[in-house]
Structure formats: structure tokens, C-alpha cells
Amino acid sequence: MSGKTATLKAAAIPESLVQRTRVQTPGQPARGPHGHLRQTDTPSLHEMTSMNIEQAVPNDAASADRAPGYMGKILLIAPQPFYQDRGTPIAVQYVLTALTQLGYAVDLLTYPLGSSPKIKGVRYLRVSNPLGFRSIPVSFSWRKLFLDFLILGRLATLLRKERYVYIHAVEESAFLAAALRRIHRTRIVYDMASSLPEQLAVNSLFRFPPLMAVCLWLEKWLLRNVDSVVASAGLKSKVLELSPDADVQEWYFPAERAEIPETEIVDLRTALEISDEDKTIVYTGTFEFYQGIDEVVAAIPAVVAKVPEALFVLVGAKDDDQIEELRARIDPSVTDRVRILPRVKKDQVTRFLAMADILLSPRKVGLNIPLKIFDYLAAARPIVATDIAAHRAIADESLAEIVPADAAGMAAGIIHVLSDKRRAGELAESAASYAERVLSWSAFSGFIESLADRKSIERIET
């Protein structure tokens, strides 16, 4: 199959594959004849975060302050399109779901783009879109800056009118909440998904040393002017380096062990023209340069030369142009061993994880852990991950095959795991055990409860 044909086949995944996913009950997972997990009747994490949650939180977060079970109102600021199936919006949805299940109402101040999942107790407050933006880049852009300015104005109005238990400020919105300290006394929890200078360094404009120095100063200022920091796993040491007295905790997001019917795995492999003999190496996520996709592409010829049945499935292209750009960089001798797919919804990702013989996390820079690692661990598949601080924050050699962040290292790690069944089995078992112990929904909900309760008490005391 040519690279072009692989792309077209990938885009034609049967609609029947978009099915309900189930959560494994505690204990040893039940598996089908080929190692895929059997189905049970427990609602999945995806279903839990997508359903209309019936509970004591009022429908309109601006009313019913004394409703039975009502714990108070929280302002969550999310400066990105919400909801979209990518890292930060997925994390925000988890937080919203946990807060409302605990009895808190939430005002969600966010961009004008994105869908609005129906979560009982959440009021969507979207800024206007006077310039008619249809998309917003993940990293710095003038469109993002313009919408943040609109959020600042809306935030000032809200803080004059409303009384919140605390402000949960995601990424750069913490600057806006801290800048308005003079008009409110509400506590600020900074949800630090990444380091500001590191994120901005992706743009060549901010690599100018004086400008980068300003960014570093601003990050230190922010950490001193918020009350608490909840950082992505891997960033705690960075926070304490910049602000030794900071109250900082780290996120460990929930991930379910999906149980995919064997027939769905067969259908997916058939749609992608993957034979029973093929060993699938799967990557899911964006194709941004820092994700290390170029290193994966460069590693493919060496892997296929040693393990001819190796087949790479790369999921997450933002559009057809990005698919064609990546396909053009693949060595012509191995194009038939690669499938390039567009971005899929989160509930479809579990099918690809369940199909995998190896899961790849090739990120080459960054201190904050990729959110997909949590789903990878829950999938109970061997993981090959680059040796960077972000991965080391949660995984060591007992949980993943840790490799140098280059093509040669990636190839060697993949070949090792494909060739050593004992090592592959140990990694899969360790990942599943870790996910069951650490990444449950109850553990995450408990963390949110302790965070919310602590902020409620501290606010009252002040």
C-alpha cells in the first residue's frame, strides 16, 4: 500500500468503531483470546465526563446559593477553545466534572470557539468573537492575545459582581486574575500546564534573549502573586526553583482501562489494512515539532530493517496538508509500513491504544508530562518514551522503555521491546498496575475535593 492509499484508508474508519467504552472493575482484567479486554457494564470515564450529571448543583450557576448540597461557586478560566479533543480542554473537563459532582457550581469563562458539553452545574461564559476567528493556535498567536484581552474585561466585570470560593486559572489566565488583585480578594489557584518561557520559545520572536528574560521575570512574578499552583507532573521542581515558598501540587489525571470488543479491533485493523502478523507501533497526539514526530519518521527504516513486520500508526494530523507534509518525509522504501491518520475523538483513541503492540511518546522537549501518558499507562501496553524530564516525572525503566530523544535511540528501543516478549510483558503489567493504583477517578476526585475544601476554608479564614 502506498502512503497515499494508507492515508485514504485511515480516513475511512467505520462508524461502527465509535462505540461505548467500558471501565474495568477493580482486580485482574478479563481478556479475550488475543489479549483484548472484555466488556463490562461500568460507565467509562469518557461517558462519566460527557453525561448530564444529575446532582445537587443548580442548573444555573448564578442562582440557588442555598440549594441542598450546594458547596459554593468557583470561577474556572480556560483560555482556549473549549471543548476540543486535545490535552488542556480534556483536563479542564475532568476538573469541571469532579467539581460539580462534589456539589460546586462553576462559571466557565472561555473562548468563543468549541463545543459545550452538558455538565449540570456549569455555566458557560464565552467572550465574543468580533473578528470571526474560526480556529485558535495552541501556542502564542495574536488571535489568542486578542481573546485574552476580551477575557480580561469580562473577568473584571465578574469579579465586581460575583463572590467565588476561588478562581481556578488555567495557563496564562492566571496573569489576568493576578493583575486584577486590586478589585478582588478571591484566592487564585494557578493551573500550570506548562512553563511560560518554554512555551513561548516555540515562537522564534521570543528567543531574543532580552525578551526571554522578560518572560522569565513574568513567570517568577506570577508564582509570587497566586495563592497556589497545581502544575502538570514534572513542573513542581521548576516552580520551587523559581519560587521556593510556593504552595505547589502536581496533577495526576484519571485514565480508564478500556475494554474494547475483539470485533472492533479486527474491524480497525481491517480498515487500515493491518494483518494479524503485523506488529503495530502507535502514536497518538498532535504532530507539532516538539512531539518528536520527525525522529519517529527517521527511525522507521531502521526498525523495519530489523523487524519487517513492524508497522507504524501515527494518529493526530490536524488536516490533509499536514498528512501530506509528513508522508513526504517518509523514506519511500517503508511507506507501506506507515499509516497516517487525522485527529480522532478521544473516545476513538482507545481503539488505537488497544490495537497497539507498542505505544510511543517521542516528545523531545518539555518539563510537563504529556496527558496521553496517563491513557497509555491505563491501556496496559508497553510504552517507549524519550528520556526527558517530562517523562521521568512519572515513568522510570519499570514503567517504560526509556530511550534517548533521537532517531537512533527511538529505533533501538522499539526493536528491543518488539524482540523481547518478556520485557514487553513486564512493561505492560507494570503500566496496568500503576494505572489501577494511581489513576482512578476516585483518586482524582479526592484530590479535587481536598483542593476545593482547603481553598474554601482558607478563604473564609482570611
Write the DSSP assignment of 178-217 as a string of letters. HHTGGG----EEEEESS-HHHHHTTSGGGGSHHHHHHHHH
Least Cα distance to 88 among 286, 341, 247 occurs for 286
* pLDDT of 22: 27
Q: Using CA atoms, how far apart are residues 194 and 371, in angstroms rounded to an integer?
A: 12
Per-residue exposure over 280-305, b if at least 16 CB sit within 10 Å of its own CB, e if not: bbbbbbbbbeebbbebbbbbbbbbbe
Q: Using CA atoms, how far apart are residues 58 and 105, in angstroms rounded to an integer?
A: 7
Instruction: Quickly state the pLDDT bin for 59 (edges 50, 70, 90).
Output: very low
Q: Which of 67 and 255 is assigned the larger pLDDT?
A: 255
Whether the pLDDT of residue 24 is over 60: the answer is no
Q: Using CA atoms, how far apart are residues 370 and 363, in angstroms rounded to an integer?
A: 8
Q: CB burial class (10 A; 0-12, 13-18, 19+) of residue 54?
A: exposed
Residue 365 CB neighbour total at 10 angstroms: 16
Q: Using CA atoms, how far apart are residues 165 and 183, in angstroms rounded to an integer?
A: 15
Whole-model pTM?
A: 0.76
* pLDDT of 35: 37
- What residues does CATH 3.40.50.2000 cover in the chain? 3-43+256-438, 45-253
Q: Using CA atoms, how far apart are residues 187 and 189, in angstroms rounded to an integer?
A: 7
Q: Which of 181-185, 233-237, 282-286, 450-454 has the least mean pLDDT?
A: 450-454
Q: Using CA atoms, how far apart are residues 407 and 292, in angstroms rounded to an integer?
A: 9
Whether the pLDDT of residue 237 is over 70: the answer is yes
* pLDDT of 15: 41
Q: Which of 212 and 217 is assigned the larger pLDDT?
A: 217
Q: Using CA atoms, how far apart are residues 462 and 456, in angstroms rounded to an integer?
A: 10
3-43+256-438 maps to which CATH number? Answer: 3.40.50.2000
Q: What is the DSSP string of 1-14?
A: --HHHHHHHHHT--
Which residues are bridge partners to 72 per DSSP? 104
45-253 maps to which CATH number? Answer: 3.40.50.2000
Element at 385 (helix H, strand E): strand 383-386
